[in-house]
Amino acid sequence: MARRDFLAFWTRCLWVLGAAHLLGLPERCGAQSAQKGLIKAKLSPYFTRLNGGTIQCDLCPRHCRMDPGERGFCRVRENQQGQCYTLAYGNPCVIHVDPIERKPFFHVLPGTTSLSLATAGCNFDCKFCQTWEISQASPEDVYSYDMPSFFIIDTATEMGVRSIAYTYVEPVIFCEYMLDLGPLAKRAGLLRVVHSNGFISPAPLGDLCGVLDAANIDLKGFTETFYRELCLGELAPVLETLKALKQHGIHLEITHLVIPLKNDDMSLIREMCLWVGKELGVDTPVHFSRFYPLHKLRNLPPTPVKTLEQARVVALSAGLEYVYIGNVPGHEGENTFCPRCKRLLIRRTGYMIGEMHLKDGQCGYCGKPIPGIWE
């Protein structure tokens, strides 16, 4: 077995055993140990100068206005002498090797691993955030690694992963890092995948589309009220992002975390699925993910599995062809079925692949093309 394949095999095994943190990934590849508050400010191209040294950040639809010395909502954009600097560049606070199914991507290189990274900060404030310790932190509050782009690529190559994943928190806020990593990753033969809230302005999104291969976008709810009250965000720009990604030919999957009493109304789920089918295509994979009580919604119960199953039935009856249930390991809704001949194409248990019956991106039984990046 080649050294690269050997490392890839063992990193996947260690991850499944819950021991990925033992790998000490950045140190293996020459980075220094994590340092508290590591910041390497970099000038952002996404801002407008206003009067009196004030600036407006144009990266996301929040359009924060910052006086000199102030930071934006996400905590990682700062007005330094009338210019906008990102404080989330080359300083990931999380760097892990994960199965790509964890992102979740079910139609992208199944059974492979991804070098996954995140920085502090977020442009939303979701009451149900699973990673609030870092998403709602400033860069000076967390331990970060000094990881210039070439270190990330070297690490990925060394570990034998097939992709780089921008994930865990909101990658939009480290946009410039993704823009620089993208071409290097492509040259190294690595896919570039992102899991995002989709809350980004059209211009930076257009730039990002040039350096991404696949995106999983959270469609957290299907009303402006949900986005406003539970995320301090907006729905409309997220829908525009989904349409733009589709137009740019980026492979697209959607995650909808189903939260009891908050976004589990089946009529709204049906409306959302009809919108997905009409605007993005019925072959867009949709993941209904199970909520567990966390952060500011600890008073709610976990999503009943029955609710997820109901959502899946609603989505299938709305015409969607690839509908999954997430965070319920071993559930039949984790598997991929051919929409034409109904045969099982990919069997999954948690993040493990059991069997796969695809041939050249087509159903191995009836030949129907299955959307995704398969090789």
Q: How far is the CB of 318 from ligand SF4 (least distance, A)?
A: 33
User: How many residues bind ligand SF4, per CB under 6 A?
Assistant: 12
Contact criterion met (CB below 8 Å) for 40 and 90: yes
Name the helix (H) or strand (E) containing 118. Answer: strand 113-118
The rounded distance, in Å, linking the Cα atoms of 166 and 178 is 8
Q: Applying CB under 6 A, which part among 4-12, 57-65, 238-246, 320-328 lies near ligand SF4?
A: 57-65
β-partners of residue 326 are 289
Contact call for residue 314 and ligand SF4 (CB under 6 A): no
The rounded distance, in Å, linking the Cα atoms of 257 and 364 is 31
Q: How far is the CB of 86 from ligand SF4 (least distance, A)?
A: 9
Query: CA torsion, points 315, 317, 320, 324, in degrees to nearest 10?
Result: 50
Structure tokens at 326: 């997430």
Burial of 233 (0-12, 13-18, 19+ CB in 10 A): buried
Q: Pick from 7, 34, 39, 62 the residue near ligand SF4 by CB under 6 A.
A: 62
For 199, which DSSP code? -
Q: Applying CB under 6 A, which part among 68-76, 139-147, 187-195, 327-335 lies near ligand SF4?
A: 68-76
Q: Applying CB under 6 A, which part among 28-36, 53-61, 263-271, 365-373 lies near ligand SF4?
A: 53-61
Q: How far is the CB of 42 from ligand SF4 (least distance, A)?
A: 14
User: Binding mask 74-93 vs ligand SF4 (x if CB under 6 A, - otherwise)?
Assistant: x--x----------------
Q: Pick from 38, 55, 57, 314 the residue near ligand SF4 by CB under 6 A.
A: 57
Pick the closest to residue 9 from 97, 131, 81, 94 (CA basis): 97
CB atoms near residue 178 (< 10 Å): 24
Cα of first residue to Cα of last residue in the chain, in angstroms, is: 20
What is the side-by-side strand order in the sheet with 83-86?
A: 42-43, 83-86, 77-80
Structure tokens at 78: 């700062």
Q: How far is the CB of 242 from ligand SF4 (least distance, A)?
A: 18
Q: Quick one: 73 or 351, whose CB is closer to ligand SF4?
A: 73
Q: How far is the CB of 67 from ligand SF4 (least distance, A)?
A: 13
Query: CA torsion, points 6, 11, 12, 15, in degrees to nearest 10?
Result: 160
Q: Quick one: 55 or 159, whose CB is closer to ligand SF4?
A: 55
Q: Applying CB under 6 A, which part among 61-69, 106-114, 304-312, 325-333 lies near ligand SF4?
A: 61-69
Question: Distances in Å between the alpha carbon of 53 and those of 43, 69, 269?
Answer: 16, 10, 45
Contact call for residue 173 and ligand SF4 (CB under 6 A): yes
List all residues 6 or more positions away from 313 whose beta carbon is below 8 Å from its beta carbon.
none
Q: Quick one: 174 or 288, whose CB is closer to ligand SF4?
A: 174
Q: How far is the CB of 74 from ligand SF4 (least distance, A)?
A: 3
Q: Pick from 59, 239, 259, 269 the residue near ligand SF4 by CB under 6 A.
A: 59
Q: Quick one: 72 or 90, whose CB is closer to ligand SF4?
A: 72
Which residues inside 108-127 make contact with ligand SF4, applying CB under 6 A?
123
Q: Pick from 60, 117, 179, 315 the residue near ligand SF4 by CB under 6 A.
A: 60
Contact call for residue 142 and ligand SF4 (CB under 6 A): no
Cα Rg of the chain, angstroms: 20
By the criterion CB under 6 A, which residues form the site for ligand SF4?
57, 59-60, 62-64, 72-74, 77, 123, 173
